Each structure stands twice: as C-alpha cells, then as structure tokens.
Homo-oligomer: A and B are copies of this chain.
C-alpha cells in the first residue's frame, strides 16, 4: 500500500492504461463519474477531477448529458521539438521497429561542407533508416553527422536506440533550423517507404547546432497518408506578437 499517489491520479492512470494498451479504442465510452465513484469508492468530485484533467490533456472528450469518450489520437509528429520517433510511437500504444539501410563513413563534398558550414571537413557519418509503426514505414531518415561533434556515433547499433536519442544524449543542442516542403517521392523513396509514385510526402530538413558547430543534418521524409507534423504551444503571456 502507500503508493503515496493521490486518488485522482490513480483514476487517471487506470484510464490512461486502458487507452494506451488499446483496450479502450478511440470513440469508446469511458465510465461516467458516478460509475467511477462506485468502482473506486471515491467521491464524485475526485472522479470529476480525473476526467476533467484527462480531457484538458487531450485524451478524452466530454459531452454534457451524454458521456465521456476516448478521443481520436492522430498520427502526428511534433514539429519543433526534437522528439524520439520511437517514443512517440510507443506513446500511442503502437509497436515501433526500424530497418537500417545504410551506415558508414563517407567523404565530404562541397555541398555537404557548405551545409556543415565547415570547408575543412573531410569525412562524415551517414546513416539511412526506415522507421516503422506497426510494421508500416512512416519515416525515412537520411542523416549526416559531424564526427567532430559526436565521434562515437557509429558505435551504436540503431535497432535499440534511435539516432535522435544517441545525439541528444551525446551533445547539447543550441540551435535548430527547419525547412518543410512537400515532395513527390523518388523511386528509391517509393521503394523504401512502400508507397505509390503519386503519394505526396513531407520532407522535413533539419540542421542542428551544438557548441557553434553544425552537429547533424537530416532529411526526414513522411508519407502524407501516414503522418503529419504537429506542434502546439502557448505563446508568451506578454505581447510577443508585435503588430
């Protein structure tokens, strides 16, 4: 006993566990406040708090006079934050897997040197990975890494930890640059992602800086039918929006 956990938190965990495990699929009705009162032996206000917080957190939706329901969880990737796609998928209660297509050292060239803002750079690490959700490819990662920033990068086996996780653990990120565009996939991309020629894709190009150097340059390609980029954040309470 003595979980030292508040009652409303236990109720929230119980509901979240059912959602995460897939036992309660989207749209399903969750127990009403009065049903929670009976099954947990708590007061209605405590049940109300649990359901209300889960609603504001985006897991449930409530309709007065009708009930509370599991909300649709869209397949979304966060746009501005560096998140680990494996965690993201796991968080949705789905199975993550990956296929390592390429891993090695390549010689630099003028275009790459430009991207890394380092004329003298000689060699780069290069990996290509297909990330899968429930066995379906959802992201093609084509990444170059600056050996000066993460010299041990290639020592990792990327089946267990994603490159994002490795880099985040190895180096601080000072600055990020993103470019997002829509593309039609190349034949190789079609093959690796298992999509048709006419399926549009999102291409997210990202450079990240660490201690003043470009640490990594990556292009992430998402099939439009399987993934969208998402961000939601609060803006400063004081007027950051000039004009």
Which of A's residues lie within 8 Å of B, judged by CB? 16, 19-20, 22, 53, 56-59, 63, 73-74, 76-84, 87, 119, 165, 168-169, 172-184, 198, 200-202, 222, 224, 228-243
Nearest 7 A/B pairs, CB to CB: A182-B200, A200-B200, A182-B182, A182-B224, A73-B236, A181-B228, A177-B232
Task: Tell me if A87 and B243 are in contact (CB < 8 A).
Answer: yes
CB contacts (< 8 Å) of A236 on chain B: these are: 73-74, 76
Task: Tell me if A238 and B20 are in contact (CB < 8 A).
Answer: yes
Task: Report how many copies the assembly holds.
Answer: 2
Contact of A232 among B56, B175, B229, B239 (CB under 8 A): B175
CB contacts (< 8 Å) of A180 on chain B: these are: 79, 180, 202, 228-230
Task: Tell me if A229 and B56 are in contact (CB < 8 A).
Answer: no
Task: Tell me if A76 and B224 are in contact (CB < 8 A).
Answer: no
Q: List 18 A-B contacts (CB under 8 A).
A: A16-B237, A22-B238, A76-B179, A77-B233, A78-B242, A79-B79, A81-B240, A81-B241, A82-B240, A172-B241, A173-B240, A177-B232, A178-B231, A180-B180, A180-B229, A181-B228, A184-B200, A200-B201
CB contacts (< 8 Å) of A238 on chain B: these are: 19-20, 22, 73
Contact of A183 among B119, B182, B229, B230 (CB under 8 A): B182
* Docked CA distance A168–B233 (Å): 17
